[in-house]
Amino acid sequence: MRKKRVILFVVCLVSVAIALTLAWGAVNLATNDQVTAKIKDLDVAFFKGFDVYPAGVKEAPTALLFDIKGGCKLPCRVSKTALSKETVATGKVWGAPLSQAEIIYAIKALNAQSAESKLSPPRALNVVNVKGDVVGYVYTSLDTVLMDRKKDGSVVVYPPTIEPRLKGS
């Protein structure tokens, strides 16, 4: 009898954990298939809702940061409303905002890089603040993106870099 109660208790705990996870909303850095499809399809109407910043060199970016226009949650380009000294320093690391033609070029370059290398295909990763709001996306082939989610709802996203590998590794 006691064994049945313990099993029932464990099943209830697992069910509650799953329900809370599903109710929480968007998961930070989870792949967003709908946004990935829009980016891969070069949906210009979708791009108009974002300021897009490149990481890496223009000819071969490592990532694109899609910052929702008017959101002021991903401070890549620092304005008078910069949130902290840290975001000012981080904002200078990402490239200048891209034009529509440059966005298309950068997406094609990212797609070509993944096809030529052992990297996974690029995908859009959700950038979610501590309040559970999606504040932007990172389009990249890399597996990790470092960020700092602030209590005020802003997020500092650090540009990913590809580390050189030695032959044989």
Task: Tell whether pTM > 0.75.
Answer: no
Burial class (CB in 10 A: 0-12, 13-18, 19+), 124: buried
CA gyration radius, the chain: 19
User: If pLDDT is split at 50, 70 and 90, which confidence band does 48 have?
Assistant: very high
| pLDDT tens for each residue of 126-153 | 988 888 888 889 999 887 788 888 887 7
pLDDT for the residue 79? 43
Q: Where are the domains of the chain?
A: 27-157
Return the sign of the alpha-carbon dihedral for residues 59, 102, 81, 62.
Answer: negative
| pLDDT tens for each residue of 50-99 | 888 888 887 788 899 898 876 655 554 444 444 444 444 445 577 888 89
| pLDDT tens for each residue of 95-112 | 888 899 999 999 999 998
